[in-house]
Amino acid sequence: MRMGDRAGRAPDRVGATPLPPPLEELTVSLAFVFPGQGSHRAGSLDTWGDHPALAVLDEVSEGIGRDVRALTADPAAGARTADAQPAILAASMVAWRALTDAGVAADVVAGHSLGEYSAAIAAGVFDVADGASLVAERGAAMAAACAANPGTMAAVVKLAPDAVEVLVERIDDLVVANDNAPGQVVVAGPPEAVAAVADAAKQAGGRALPLDVEGAFHSPAMAPAVDRVTRALATTPAAEPRITLIAGADATPRRDARGVTDGLEAGILAPVRWREVQLALAERGVTHLVEVGPGGVLAGLAKRTVPDLTVHKVEGPDDVAAVADRLVGATSSARA
Mean pLDDT by 10 residues, the chain (336 residues): 38 41 51 88 87 98 96 83 94 97 96 98 98 98 98 97 96 98 97 96 96 95 98 98 98 97 98 98 96 94 97 96 83 34
Does this model's pTM top 0.85? My answer is: yes
CATH classification code of 30-147+220-335: 3.40.366.10
Same fold, 30-147+220-335 and 151-210: no
The pLDDT value given to residue 79: 77
The pLDDT value given to residue 336: 34
Q: 167-212, pLDDT tens digit by residue?
A: 999 999 999 999 999 999 999 999 999 999 999 999 999 999 999 8
The pLDDT value given to residue 329: 54
- Whether the CB-CB separation of 33 and 112 falls below 8 Å is answered with yes
Q: How far is CA 138 from CA 97, 113, 144, 145, 259, in A?
A: 23, 11, 10, 10, 18
Under DSSP, is residue 291 helix (H, G, I), strand (E, B) or coil? strand
The pLDDT value given to residue 110: 98
The pLDDT value given to residue 295: 86
Strand partners, 30: 288
Q: Locate the DSSP E strands across the chain.
A: 30-34, 108-111, 152-157, 175-181, 184-189, 207-210, 244-246, 253-254, 288-292, 310-314
How many other C-beta atoms lie within 10 A of the C-beta of residue 65?
11
Q: Where are the domains of the chain?
A: 30-147+220-335, 151-210
Within a 13 Å sphere around the CA of 334, how many CA atoms are in the beta-carbon half? 9
- The active-site residue out of 112, 218, 288, 312 is 218
Tell me, what amino acid is at 218? H
113 is catalytic: yes
Q: Which CATH superfamily is domain 151-210 in?
A: Malonyl-CoA ACP transacylase, ACP-binding (3.30.70.250)
Question: Please, is 53 exposed, middle or buried when counting C-beta atoms within 10 Å of its C-beta (0-12, 13-18, 19+)?
Answer: buried
- Whether the CB-CB separation of 278 and 286 falls below 8 Å is answered with no
The pLDDT value given to residue 43: 78
- The active-site residue out of 44, 61, 113, 133 is 113
The pLDDT value given to residue 82: 94
